[in-house]
Amino acid sequence: MRRFRILAGAAATGTFVLIAVGGLVRATGSGLGCPGWPRCFGRWIPPLEYHAIIEYTHRLVAGIVIVLIGALAVSAWRHHRSDRRILWPSLAAVGIVLFQAALGGIVVRQELKAALVTAHFATAMVLAGVLTFVLVSSFLPQEKPERRDRPFLRLTMLTLIATFGLLLVGAYVRGAGAGLAFRDWPLMDGKLVPALGGIATPMFLHRLLAAAVCLLVIYTAVRARASSTRNPALIKISSLVVVLFAVQILVGAANVWTGLSTASVVAHVTLSALTWAAVVALATAATRLAVLSSDTQPAEPSGRSLRESTVAYFQLTKPRIIVLLLITTVPAMILASGSLPPFGLVFATLLGGTLAAGSANSINCYLDRDIDEVMRRTRRRPLPSHRVTPDDALRFGFVLGSISFFFLSIAVNVVAATLSLAAIAFYVFVYTLWLKRSTEQNIVIGGAAGAVPALVGWAAVTGTVGLPAIVLFGIVFVWTPPHFWALSMQYRDDYASAGVPMMPVVRGRDETLRQILLYSLVLFAVSLLLYPVGHLGAVYLASALLLGGIFVYRALSLRRDFTQARAMSLFKYSIVYLALLFAAVAVDSL
């Protein structure tokens, strides 16, 4: 099997090189560099001319790939005839690559018609997918598991189909010369939904599909990582898909920003093939590695009323936390405008921010459901109490996030929408999936997500992020650790039982109290920094001095004479502090 794997890897690698060279042919306009086929200008050795050499190199690589695939098929027939998942795809690859070569000749003779270019690229993707399937299958057990996570398997298949559709539309965009239908990114002619018609329509469809597939691959990666089985192979492959897709999006933007430079076009085509291969690998692995997950818990009781279900989903969003986040949004808008912004803009920003925060919190509930079952404070949440199924909670969170982004993009502006989306991603991936279970500094770095609403409020008014907004962000960022650590003192044993390395668990009470005091002092200093930066007056300065002084005094008293009551008192005061400080920003600005 080792020799077969090497051969399969060589054939797959050769195919990706062939696709990359094909992208170079397209980017340099060398598709007709060699009139006629299979010879070039009637010769087997092309003339030393730029476009002819590039096109002929593409044909030479295609010849090498045909040989490698032929050898792969012979090896499969001779040594692995009993393994149908290897034999039949290997034999099919021979027919596909020969059809691909013949289709390439037709494309040249028909002078690069868009439909034929799309078909040629689609065939190349099918070939790459088949070879990836063979290569991955050679590493997987031949027998299917007795039980599989069928919902996850269906999800990977849906992602596979959607990704292939995106590739087809992207190929048509290139073939039709619509790559620069819009000269801006991510907007299209300055709009989220542009005027359609002509080459604008396929490009708009391409970007729309890219957004949809992006959501799918992220959803799939979260589903793989948060599954109770946590299969390492599925986690790694799904994470790779997310990384490749994210880089692909940036390269797609570079296509627009650089006016379809050769390097960006080739990179875009190559990454599309690699992303497609990663998705195929994930779907292939899911057929053999995914076992029954506890996520398939029984459905909600049939007797549950609409009101009870609504309340359960509402609780998933953690509304108390949302209110605290929104406290920082409106004052930032008032500071940015210097007056009370239009009611419609304020309402749209708050609604979009509420949906974004609800999305992040719902996904957090899904990811932390094992912790919530252990901790007394969270046992009554909808997932531990089985009022909502895990998969439904995850889908609900993604729907809220999608709606919030598009709503903010249309009703406010793309900068505010992008900041909200970044906050969701940071809270889910950086804080919940990475930091929370790995370091006592989790809430320090993770607090950045909760500080973003101040940036969103400023961006909603100005369309940019100014220095005063950054200071507002810093206030919330520095406020978060003493606020949360004061609460965690009360639930230290719960965090220890759940295996969460919160500061009181890892570093002990004395160090936590010292850190609370230090952050309180830093918070006091940062809050005063807003006075000159934000050009605020006496109302804010007096409020910052008084409120900050009380905060530091309470933190100092807690360290000198610790009691649980004092810790909870500081926690409650921290909420009052933030609300009053930002209220002072609004009043002073008005």
Query: Which residues are CB-neighbours of 201 under 8 A, at least 6 positions away?
Result: none
Separation of alpha carbons 361 and 243, rounded Å = 23
CA-CA-CA-CA torsion sign (560, 562, 566, 572):
positive
Provide the CB-side half-sphere exposure for 133 (13 A, CA): 21
Coil, helix or strand at residue 148: coil
Q: Is the pLDDT of residue 296 over 50?
A: no
Which structure tokens are listed for 326?
């929104």
Which structure tokens are listed for 237?
């492959």
pLDDT computed for residue 294 by the predictor = 45
Separation of alpha carbons 90 and 73, rounded Å = 5
Separation of alpha carbons 531 and 541, rounded Å = 6
pLDDT computed for residue 299 by the predictor = 45
pLDDT digits (tens, 9 = 90+) for 507-537: 999 999 999 999 999 999 999 999 999 999 9
Cα 229–chain centre separation:
22
pLDDT computed for residue 465 by the predictor = 92
Separation of alpha carbons 388 and 411, rounded Å = 31
pLDDT computed for residue 147 by the predictor = 63
DSSP 210-271: HHHHHHHHHHHHHHHHHSSS--HHHHHHHHHHHHHHHHHHHHHHHHHHTTS-HHHHHHHHHH
pLDDT computed for residue 89 by the predictor = 93
The position carrying tokens 């940062």 is 526
Q: Is the pLDDT of residue 555 over 50?
A: yes
DSSP 364-410: HHHHTHHHHHH-TTTTTSTTTTTSS-HHHHHHHHHHHHHHHHHHHHH
Q: Cβ of 537: how many Cβ atoms within 10 Å?
A: 12
Q: Is the pLDDT of residue 37 over 60?
A: yes
DSSP 536-564: --HHHHHHHHHHHHHHHHHHHHHHHS--H
Amino acid identity, position 252: G
Coil, helix or strand at residue 62: helix
pLDDT computed for residue 112 by the predictor = 64
pLDDT, average across residues 164-182: 88
Cα 335–chain centre separation:
31
Separation of alpha carbons 485 and 571, rounded Å = 8
Coil, helix or strand at residue 40: strand
Coil, helix or strand at residue 574: helix
How many percent of the chain have pLDDT more than 70?
92
Residue 35 vs residue 515, higher pLDDT: 515
pLDDT computed for residue 238 by the predictor = 92
Cβ proximity of 86 and 137 under 8 Å: yes
Q: What is the largest CA-CA distance in the chain?
A: 93
Separation of alpha carbons 341 and 161, rounded Å = 45
pLDDT digits (tens, 9 = 90+) for 338-366: 889 999 999 999 999 999 999 999 999 99
Residue 393 vs residue 174, higher pLDDT: 393
Lowest-pLDDT range of 70-79, 94-103, 142-151, 573-582: 142-151
Separation of alpha carbons 179 and 158, rounded Å = 26
Cβ proximity of 264 and 247 under 8 Å: no
pLDDT, average across residues 465-479: 95
pLDDT digits (tens, 9 = 90+) for 411-444: 999 899 999 999 999 999 899 888 888 888 888 8
pLDDT, average across residues 545-554: 96
pTM, full prediction: 0.81
- Label residue 576 by pLDDT band (50, 70, 90): very high
Of 404, 402, 384, 392, the closest CA to residue 460 belongs to 404
Phi, psi of 43 (to 5 degrees): -125, 150
pLDDT, average across residues 58-86: 89
Separation of alpha carbons 491 and 46, rounded Å = 76
Burial class (CB in 10 A: 0-12, 13-18, 19+), 387: buried
Residue 206 vs residue 190, higher pLDDT: 206
What are residue 214's DSSP bridge partners?
none
Q: Cβ of 517: how many Cβ atoms within 10 Å?
A: 19
Q: Is the pLDDT of residue 298 over 70?
A: no
Angle at Cα 331 formed by Cα 327 and Cα 333, nearest 5°? 120
Q: Determine the straight-line distance between the first and last CA of the chain, rounded to whole angstroms.
A: 75
Q: Is the pLDDT of residue 301 over 50?
A: no
pLDDT, average across residues 573-582: 95
pLDDT computed for residue 405 by the predictor = 92
Q: Is the pLDDT of residue 82 over 90?
A: no
Cα 315–chain centre separation:
24
By residue count, the chain amounts to 590
pLDDT computed for residue 295 by the predictor = 47
pLDDT, average across residues 31-48: 68
pLDDT digits (tens, 9 = 90+) for 102-134: 887 787 676 667 788 888 889 999 999 999 999
Amino acid identity, position 92: A
pLDDT, average across residues 245-257: 92
Which structure tokens are listed for 493?
């044993």
Separation of alpha carbons 155 and 241, rounded Å = 14
Q: Which region holds residue 341: left if phi is over 0, alpha if psi is between -120 and 50, else beta?
A: beta
Separation of alpha carbons 399 and 522, rounded Å = 38
Q: Is the pLDDT of residue 215 over 80?
A: yes
Lowest-pLDDT range of 26-30, 67-71, 312-316, 450-454: 26-30
